């Protein structure tokens, strides 16, 4: 029995690690599974039933619309999207209202009202995708590291982890500095480039702060870095 106990404890620890790792990974991924799953409803609605003005098909999709929106209402944003919560909540409220209009129109088989609700549903779905979708993959990669640094490694202060993350941000700043905005956002290019330059300067300052290994100085540098990142994000609000 004494030999079996350590084995049992080890087994529990091993089985627990993947679950914890999965939770952490999910927390730094800018994704809401319920919204992704709802695409499977929106796609046939918008690309098949709506263009054909197929009222029967739209009616048949009503239960899936309702259940999909219910799942989105219950969904929680991952930690990395905490700054998007206000916009997300407003989006969910609007999506819920549209789903209600869709259900009423489907119940009455009111073709014009149903087509209008379907169009609004598609538009709102796309708006919500834009709320959580990073503008640039390079910005998403940068934020994933910054999130862990700012929200997990500063309190309690972990010098080794903080140092590694700051140096990783320096590496990720390279691709971010070379990234260009998509055509739809070209009007924001000048403001973005200026904010990005300020972020790069803050990253360099954070790297320099590591040399003294002084917690207070490092915290000040990381706080400024985080502020400069938020200013980059605000360019796209």
Do 33-132 and 137-234 come out as alike in CATH topology? yes
What pLDDT digit, counting tens, does each position of 92-142 carry? 999 999 999 999 999 999 999 999 999 999 999 999 998 888 789 999 899
Check pLDDT > 60 for residue 17: no
Q: Domain 33-132, what fold?
A: 1.20.120
Q: What percent of the chain has pLDDT over 70?
A: 89
Check pLDDT > 50 for residue 16: no
Q: Higher confidence at residue 125 or residue 7?
A: 125
What pLDDT digit, counting tens, does each position of 37-96 carry? 999 999 999 999 999 999 999 999 999 999 999 999 999 999 888 888 999 999 999 999
Q: Which CATH architecture has domain 137-234?
A: Up-down Bundle (1.20)
* Domain ranges (residues) in the chain: 33-132, 137-234
| 3-state per-residue secondary structure call for the chain | CCCHHHHHHHHHHHHHHHHHHHHHHHHCCCCCHHHHHHHHHHHHHHHHHCCCCCHHHHHHCHHHHHHHHHHHHHCCCCHHHHHHHHHHHHHHHHHHHHHHHHHHHHHHCCHHHHHHHHHHHHHHHHHHHHHHCCCCHHHHHHHHHHHHHHHHHCCCCCHHHHHHHHHHHHHHHHHHHHCCCCHHHHHHHHHHHHHHHHHHHHHHHHHHHCCCCCHHHHHHHHHHHHHHHHHHHHCCC
pLDDT score recorded for residue 83:
85
pLDDT score recorded for residue 236:
86
Mean pLDDT of 26-47: 91
pLDDT score recorded for residue 229:
96
Check pLDDT > 80 for residue 188: yes
């Amino acid at each position: 029995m004494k030999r079996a106990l350590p084995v049992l404890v080890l087994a529990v620890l091993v089985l627990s690690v993947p679950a914890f790792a999965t939770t952490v990974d999910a927390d730094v991924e800018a994704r809401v599974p319920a919204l992704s799953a709802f695409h499977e409803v929106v796609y046939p609605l918008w690309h098949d039933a709506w263009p054909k003005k197929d009222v029967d098909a739209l009616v048949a999709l009503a239960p899936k619309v309702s259940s999909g929106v219910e799942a989105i209402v219950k969904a929680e944003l991952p930690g990395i999207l905490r700054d998007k919560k206000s916009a997300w909540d407003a989006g969910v409220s609007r999506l819920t209202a549209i789903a209600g209009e869709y259900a009423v129109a489907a119940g009455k088989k009111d073709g014009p009202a149903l087509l209008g609700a379907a169009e609004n549903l598609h538009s709102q779905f796309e708006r919500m995708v834009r709320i959580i979708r990073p503008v640039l993959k390079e910005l998403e990669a940068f934020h994933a590291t910054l999130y862990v640094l700012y929200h997990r490694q500063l309190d309690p202060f972990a010098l080794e982890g903080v140092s590694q993350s700051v140096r990783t941000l320096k590496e990720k700043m390279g691709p971010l500095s070379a990234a260009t905005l998509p055509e739809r956002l070209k009007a924001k290019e000048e403001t973005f480039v200026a904010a990005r330059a300020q972020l790069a300067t803050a990253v360099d300052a954070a790297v320099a702060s590591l040399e003294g290994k002084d917690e207070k100085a490092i915290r000040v540098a990381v706080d400024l870095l985080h502020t400069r990142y938020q200013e980059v994000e605000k360019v796209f609000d």
